[in-house]
């Protein structure tokens, strides 16, 4: 159900899955993301989790505005005793991109 959270436990770690949309190819609603984050917070408290790491959720394939998503995360986890770390994945350059030498200043057309 959207707005929910499921998790797996492996040794001393938990992996949480936020259910933010009914179908994988739908775009999530901010309200469903917020519900999932609140459920995540409840689970963290229940499971005595003090550290949590997550990627830039919602801002990749889901195409949500990261500025809004980060505000929702901040509002949810503010004043909580959970050390929250958010990671941003940056893909390494492809071999073709890495081998291209800059050719000096680029001229741009004004529109």
Residues with active-site annotation: 21, 62
Spell out the residues 6+ positions from residue 29 whose beta carbon is closer than 8 angstroms to its own.
2, 20, 21
Tell me if 19 sits within 8 A of 57, measured CB to CB: no
């Amino acid at each position: 159900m959207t707005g929910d959270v499921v998790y797996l436990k492996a040794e001393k770690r938990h992996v949480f899955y936020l259910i933010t949309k009914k179908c994988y190819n739908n775009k999530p609603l901010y309200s469903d993301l917020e519900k999932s984050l609140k459920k995540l917070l409840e689970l963290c408290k229940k499971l005595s989790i003090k550290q949590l790491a997550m990627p830039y959720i919602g801002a990749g394939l889901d195409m949500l505005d990261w500025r809004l998503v980060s505000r929702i995360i901040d509002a949810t986890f503010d004043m909580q005793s959970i050390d929250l770390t958010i990671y941003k994945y940056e893909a390494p350059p492809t071999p073709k991109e890495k081998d291209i030498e800059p050719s000096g200043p680029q001229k741009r057309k004004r529109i």
